[in-house]
Structure 1
Amino acid sequence: MIFFIKLFLAHLIGDFMLQPTKWVIHKEANKAGSKYLYLHIFLHFLITMIVLWDFSMWKIALIIMVSHLVIDVAKLYTTPFFKNKSIPFFIDQLLHILVLYCCAFYENLYENTITVFENLDWALVTAVVFVSFPAAILMGKLLEAMSNQIPTDHKSLPNAGKYIGILERLFVLIFIVLGRWEAIGLLIAAKSVFRFNDLKESNNRKLTEYILIGTLVSFGLAILAGIAYTSISL
């Protein structure tokens, strides 16, 4: 695992800390013809060797470098086909991490992968999945009749409320798993402070009641998921 962590650290340094915006823009404009693409790839090789500090691992660093080049070039040429530009970015990062994983555990890749899945806390995974989009959809159904009575605020970011709800439920779940129930109160207080000005300026009782009910339902679902998980884990 330490070997994988070292490879991942080298990836973070090379892909984020030592890749200026100027390089990214030049790569997007010139693609495979960009000099910064190859400088970026060489830096990955160099950083990987420095982090590993073992010259005998040069083949691993070379595999990572070549795979990084292939993945980056594929990303540069396929990105224009995506409406949402963040999708190719996350696919790119996922493929890089997959390569690092294969390089770190190449000696017993299959056995290690099976062990990882066998040791997963499936109850926790289920709880995390539930408080994300399933809970958001459930809330939408529960509050549908009320939401139709609330005027749409065109100044809001698209789906901002949904993602805020997902994040707050994830935080609540984490706090419960860690046994820090008092932190949930701090989270509610923080949200109330941020919402106070919006509710004060709108002077809309229906909106205030809708937000209050939505917040309580959101926290309630996360708390139920947390209690269910801790009960199963006992």
Structure 2
Amino acid sequence: MRGKNKNTEFRIQNSESGEQYTEAKIRNTEAGKQHSEPVKTNTLKQEEISHQPLTSSATSQQPVTRVALFASGAGSNAQKIIDYFRDSKTVSIVLIACNKPGAGVLNIAEKEHIPVLMIEKEAFFRGNGYVDELKTAGIDFIVLAGFLWKVPATLTAAYSNKIVNIHPALLPRYGGKGMYGMFVHEAIIAAGERESGITIHYVDNVYDNGAIIFQATCAIEPGDTPAMLAQKVHELEHAHYPRIIEQVIGHLQKQR
């Protein structure tokens, strides 16, 4: 990978094809480094959202970006992101959106005193995608952290290039509908692959299709099981996702 150019545009090279994703605006700032090893509720009701502040207290030098985390499961990535930005002066995690009652991420929201927006399927896909609720809550940026539903066009249009996702494989391989969690790791092990990794990408209207921002790899050793691969990939997720989110948001803040 080459260093930053005068327009602060970065390129990431797909390790499979050599294709460069010129639309990606952020990459690993440690230019040239190859990641070949793993590195080690209170529910927000609709009528309450209007009472949330529309803007955060911020200085003119350091605008605060208000972030919503979308999650469906235990929330390990969500917790890492919350911890990473806990003392940030420019990024604030102000909302957790969840589509699964009883999900572990709701316990995290309660512990961290972060409001929750429960997402119902009918309203999400046939309504406005909760755009009004998110805008009213002052959400500037959305992070998918283990969110298993496809994001509707109404939401991707409202937050164009302001929604990111992490996928537990090296896209464009092993992506698409139904490819999540252990399904991905099982497919990769069954195919006899020698490496896997993570892909952080922008979200558009097609599963796992948005412009790639960052990838990191981990080796698959002989005898590795899907569970062992999952652990390696989780380590990559926790090490890189918060940092790349920070870079993407920082890039957006400079454009204000």
TM-score band, normalised by shorter chain: under 0.3
Structure having the higher strand fraction is 2
TM-score (norm 1): 0.24
TM-score (norm 2): 0.23
Flag the structure with larger Rg: 1
The structure whose RCO (Cα within 8 Å, separation 6+) is larger is: 2
